[in-house]
Amino acid sequence: MEAKHDVLIVGAGCAGMRAAIEAHDAGADVALLSKIHPVRSHSGAAEGGINAALGNASDDDPEQHAYDTVKGSDYLGDQDAIQILCDEAPADVYQLEHWGAVFSRTEDGRIAQRPFGAAGAPRTAYAADITGHVLVHVLYEQVMKREIPTYEEFFAWKLVMNNDRCQGVIAWDLLDGGLKSIGAKTVVVTTGGAGRLYVGTTNAYACTGDGMSMALRVGVALKDMEMMQFHPTTLSPTGVLITEGTRGEGAYLLNSENDRFLKRYAPNAMELASRDVISRAEQTEIDEGRGVNGNVLLDLRHLGAEKILERLHGTRELSMTFAGVDPISEPIPVRPGAHYHMGGIDTDVWGLTNVEGLYAAGECACVSVHGANRLGGNALMETITYGKRVGRHAAEWALANTTVEVPFSIEADSERELNALLDRREGERPWSIRDELASTMHENFGVFRREDQMRKQGEIVETLRERYERVVVEDKGQVFNNDLTQALELGFLLDLAASMVVCGIERKESRGAHARPYDYPDRDDENYLRHTLVTLEDDRPQVDWRPVTLTKWQPQERTY
- Report which of 291, 238, 299, 294 is spatially closest to residue 270, judged by C-alpha positions: 299
pLDDT on residue 141:
98
Per-residue pLDDT band for 143 (boundaries 50, 70, 90) equals: very high
Domain ranges of the chain: 3-227+340-399, 234-336, 408-527
Write the CB contacts of 345 (distance below 8 Å, at least 6 apart in sequence). Answer: 189, 211, 212, 215, 220, 222, 223, 353, 360, 364, 365, 366
Q: 96 pLDDT exceeds 90?
A: yes
Q: Are the CB atoms for 387 and 22 separated by under 8 Å? A: yes
Q: 446 pLDDT exceeds 80?
A: yes
- What is the DSSP secondary structure assignment for residue 163, as one 8-state letter? T
pLDDT on residue 1:
64
Q: Are the CB atoms for 270 and 260 separated by under 8 Å? A: yes
- Report which of 242, 235, 196 is spatially closest to residue 45, judged by C-alpha positions: 242
pLDDT on residue 3:
86
Q: Are the CB atoms for 356 and 349 separated by under 8 Å? A: no
pLDDT on residue 237:
84
Please tell me whether residue 335 adopts helix, strand or coil conformation.
Answer: strand
Alpha-carbon gap, residue 128 to 131, rounded angstroms: 7
pLDDT on residue 2:
78
Q: 57 pLDDT exceeds 70?
A: yes
Edge to edge, the sheet with strand 252-254 lists 228-235, 332-341, 296-299, 252-254
426 φ, ψ to 5°?
A: -130, 145
Mean pLDDT of the chain: 95
Fold match, 234-336 / 408-527: no
Over residues 206-265, the pLDDT tens digits come to 999 999 999 999 999 999 999 999 999 999 888 999 999 899 999 999 999 999 999 999
Chosen CATH of 234-336 out of 3.90.700.10, 3.30.70.260, 3.40.1180.10, 3.40.50.300: 3.90.700.10
Alpha-carbon gap, residue 224 to 210, rounded angstroms: 17
Per-residue pLDDT band for 544 (boundaries 50, 70, 90) equals: very high
- Provide the percentage of residues in the chain whose pLDDT is more than 90: 91
Q: Are the CB atoms for 496 and 213 separated by under 8 Å? A: yes
Q: Is it true that domain 3-227+340-399 has CATH number 3.90.1520.10?
A: no
Output the CA–CA distances (angstroms, integers) from residue 417 to 179, 321, 411, 425, in the order listed. Answer: 11, 43, 10, 15
- What is the DSSP secondary structure assignment for residue 94, as one 8-state letter? H
343: left (phi over 0), alpha (psi -120 to 50) or beta: beta
pLDDT on residue 81:
98
Per-residue pLDDT band for 267 (boundaries 50, 70, 90) equals: very high
Active-site residue numbers? 275
pLDDT on residue 309:
94
Over residues 363-398, the pLDDT tens digits come to 999 999 999 999 999 999 999 999 999 999 999 999
457's enclosing H/E stretch is: helix 451-468
Mean pLDDT across 291-296: 94
HEC readout, 381-425? HHHHHHHHHHHHHHHHHHHCCCCCCCCHHHHHHHHHHHHHHHHCC
Per-residue pLDDT band for 161 (boundaries 50, 70, 90) equals: very high
Q: 457 pLDDT exceeds 90?
A: yes
- Calculate ∠ Cα 340-231-541, nearest 5°: 40
Please give the torsion angle defined by the CA atoms of residues 24, 29, 33 and 37, in that order, rounded to the nearest 10 degrees.
50
201: left (phi over 0), alpha (psi -120 to 50) or beta: beta
Q: Which CATH number is 408-527 given?
A: 1.20.58.100
Over residues 386-440, the pLDDT tens digits come to 999 999 999 999 999 878 888 899 999 999 999 999 999 999 999 999 999 999 9
Q: How far is CA 225 from the centre of its chain?
A: 12
pLDDT on residue 199:
92
Alpha-carbon gap, residue 373 to 242, rounded angstroms: 18
- Report which of 235, 234, 200 is spatially closest to residue 322, judged by C-alpha positions: 235
